[in-house]
Amino acid sequence: MLRSFRQVFKSNRTPMAAVMIVVLLGLVAYLAPSGQVDAPDTVVARIYGREVLMRDLAEHMQELYQRYGKQASPEALKPFVQSQALRDLTNQKLMEELAERHHVVVTDEEVGARLRAFLRQYPVLLDAQGNLKPTAELKQIFQENGFNPAIQERNLRSELLRSKLIQQAALQVPVDEPWLAIEHRLRQEKVSFQQATLTVDAASVADPGDAALEAVYKAGGERFLQPPRRVIQFVAVDRAALGKDAQADEATLKAAFEARKNDFIEFKARHILFKAEGDAQAQEATAKALLLRERLTKGQSFAKAAEELSEDPSAKGNGGDLGWFRFPQMQKPFSEAAATLKPGEISQPVRTVYGIHLILLEGRREKRFEDVKAQLASEIADTRFNARAQERLEQIRKRANGGDLAAAAKSLGSQAQLSQPFSNEPGVQSEGLPELSQIAGEAFRLKSGEVSKPQRIGDRHLLFRVQEELPEAVPPFKEIRAKVLAAYRIEESRKQALAKAQQALQSGGLQAVGPVSDQAAAPLSGLRDLVAHPGIRKALLETAVGQTTPLLWTQDGKLWVARIGSREPAPALTFESRRSLIQEVQSAEAQKLLSAELQALDQQGRLRPGLSSFWGHFGGIYVNAEAVQVTVEE
> Residues 489-523: pLDDT tens digits?
999 999 999 999 999 898 878 988 989 999 999 99
Q: Quick check: is 598 in a domain?
A: yes
Q: Which helix (H) or strand (E) holds 315?
A: helix 315-318
Give yes or no: residues 527 and 460 share one domain.
Answer: no
Q: What's the confidence (pLDDT) of residue 157?
A: 92
- Establish if 216 belongs to a structural domain: no
- Residue that wins the pLDDT comparison between 584 and 331: 584
State the Cα–Cα distance between residues 228 and 217, nearest whole angstrom.
Answer: 19
One domain for residues 174 and 54: yes
Going 344 to 346 to 351 to 354, the CA torsion angle's sign is: positive
Q: What is the pLDDT of residue 630?
A: 40
pLDDT band at 6 (very low <50, low <70, confident <90, very high): very low
Last residue of a domain, one of 371, 399, 428: 371
**Residue 211 maps to a domain:** no
pTM, to two decimals = 0.59
Mean pLDDT of the chain: 86
130 φ/ψ sector (left φ>0, alpha ψ -120 to 50, else beta): left
pLDDT digits (tens, 9 = 90+) for 265-276: 889 999 999 988
CA 198 to chain centre: 36
Q: Is the domain of 551 the same as that of 597?
A: no
Q: What's residue 30's pLDDT?
A: 43
Same domain? For 363 and 469 the reply is no
Instruction: Quote the pLDDT of residue 74.
Output: 60
Give the Cα separation of 242 and 155 in Å (integer). Answer: 53
Residues in the chain: 634
**Same domain, yes or no: 517 and 426:** no
Residues 49 and 171 in one domain: yes
> In total, how many domains does the chain have?
5
Same domain, 265 and 294: yes
* pLDDT at residue 264, as a whole number: 83
Predicted confidence at residue 450, as pLDDT, reads 92
Stronger pLDDT, 150 or 517, i.e. the higher one:
517
pLDDT of residue 454: 92
The confidence score (pLDDT) of residue 43 equals 87
Among 359, 357, 349, 362, CA closest to 311: 357
Measure the CA angle with vertex 281, ends 293 and 37; round to 5°.
100
Q: Is the pLDDT of residue 7 over 60?
A: no
Q: What percent of the chain has pLDDT over 90?
A: 51
SS3 280: helix
- Final residue of a domain: which of 316, 346, 371? 371
Do residues 382 and 233 share a domain?
A: yes
Q: Is 458 left (phi over 0), alpha (psi -120 to 50) or beta?
A: left
**Position 278, amino acid:** G
How much of the chain exceeds pLDDT 70, in percent? Answer: 90
Q: Which amino acid is at 554?
A: T
Three-state helix/strand/coil letters over 66-99: HHHCCCCCHHHHHHHHHHHHHHHHHHHHHHHHHH
Does residue 437 contact residue 451 with C-beta atoms inside 8 Å? Answer: no
DSSP 159-194: HHHHHHHHHHHHTT----HHHHHHHHHHHH-EEEEE
Mark whether 264 and 357 lie in a shared domain.
yes
Q: Is 205 within the bounds of a domain?
A: no
Q: What is the maximal distance between C-alpha atoms in the chain?
A: 102
Domain that holds residue 315: 253-371
Report how far residue 439's alpha carbon sits from residue 432's, in angstroms, rounded to the nearest whole number. Answer: 14
**Which residues have CB under 8 Å from 373's CB, separation 6+?**
253, 257
Helical residues (DSSP H) of 171-277, grouped into ranges: 177-188, 210-220, 239-242, 250-259
Q: Residue 93 falls within a domain, yes or no?
A: yes
Confidence of residue 426 (pLDDT cuts 50, 70, 90): confident
Contacts of 175 (CB under 8 A, 6+ apart): 582, 585, 586
CA distance 224 to 484: 8
**568-591 core/surface letters (b: 16 or more CB in 10 A; e: else):** eeeeebeeeeeeebbeebbeebbe
CATH number at residue 108: 1.10.4030.10
* DSSP secondary structure string for all residues of 450-474: -BPPPEEETTEEEEEEEEEEE-SB-
- Distance between CA atoms of residues 343 and 162, nearest Å: 51
* Confidence category of residue 535, pLDDT binned at 50, 70, 90: very high
Residue 400 has pLDDT above 80, yes or no: yes
Distance of CA 278 to the CA centre of its chain: 29
HEC states along 354-407?
Answer: CEEEEEEEEEEEECCHHHHHHHHHHHHHHHHHHHHHHHHHHHHHHHHCCCCCHH
* Residue 506 φ/ψ, nearest 5 degrees: -70, -30
pLDDT digits (tens, 9 = 90+) for 166-180: 999 999 999 999 999
Cα end-to-end span (Å), the chain: 59
For residue 215, being part of any structural domain is answered with no
pLDDT of the residue at 402: 85
pLDDT digits (tens, 9 = 90+) for 79-130: 788 888 899 999 999 999 999 999 999 999 999 999 999 999 888 888 888 8
97 domain-assigned: yes
pLDDT in tens, 592-628: 999 999 999 998 888 887 665 566 677 788 888 776 6
Range from 129-143, 157-171, 202-216, 439-453 carrying the lowest mean pLDDT: 129-143
Beta bridge partners of 265: 366
For residue 481, which amino acid is it? R
Paired sense of beta strands 552-553 and 50-53, if any = unpaired
Q: Which of the listed ranges 252-256, 307-311, 538-542 does the model predict with the highest average pLDDT?
A: 538-542
Domain assignment present for 116: yes
User: Closest Cα to residue 175, out of 601, 607, 585?
Assistant: 585
Supply φ then ψ for residue 421, to 5 degrees: -60, 140
Q: Count the alpha carbons within 13 Å of 265 in the hemisphere toward its beta carbon.
A: 18
CATH of the domain at 550: 3.10.50
Average pLDDT over residues 226-233: 93
Tell me which of 371, 402, 434 is where a domain ends: 371
Same domain, 23 and 139: no
Q: Average pLDDT, stretch 184-213?
A: 94
Q: Do residues 50 and 182 both lie within one domain?
A: yes
Give residue-wise pLDDT tens across range 51-71.
999 888 888 888 887 776 655
Residue 351 CB: number of other CB atoms within 10 A? 19
pLDDT band at 632 (very low <50, low <70, confident <90, very high): very low
103: left (phi over 0), alpha (psi -120 to 50) or beta: left
Q: Are residues 50 and 178 in the same domain?
A: yes
pLDDT of residue 481: 92
DSSP string, 533-566: SHHHHHHHHHSPTTPBPPPEE-TTS-EEEEEEEE
Write the CB contacts of 500 (distance below 8 Å, at least 6 apart in sequence).
198
Q: How confident is the model at residue 22 (pLDDT cuts 50, 70, 90)?
A: very low
What pLDDT is stored for residue 295 in this prediction? 93
